[in-house]
Amino acid sequence: MTPQTAIVSALLCDLDAAPEPVRDVAGGMLLRSLGLAAVDPDFTASMRDGHTESLDDWTRRVLGREAGQ
């Protein structure tokens, strides 16, 4: 299991305890980061403009050497 998969798995497991609006937003973000949900144009524009980072980018930034990067 990659560090990215482990992080997303842990976050998805915790979602069932969150309020519904949080589940919808956070769940969508997590699924888009894995390429399992369609990316809407606003999200694409945010990534292009540097306001959103991919899960791989986040993992490299936060975990650095721990992620084997």
Question: Along the 69 residues of the chain, how does pLDDT read in single tens digits?
Answer: 677 777 777 777 777 787 888 777 777 777 777 777 776 777 777 777 777 777 787 788 778 766 554
In this structure, the number of other CB atoms found within 10 A of the CB of residue 1 comes to: 6
Contact 54, 33 (CB under 8 A): yes
Interatomic CA distance for residues 6 and 69, integer angstroms? 16
pTM above 0.85, yes or no: no
Number of domains in the chain: 1
**Burial tier of 23 (Cβ tally within 10 Å: 0-12, 13-18, 19+):** middle
Structural domain including 44 reads: 3-64
Domain membership of residue 69 (yes or no) is no
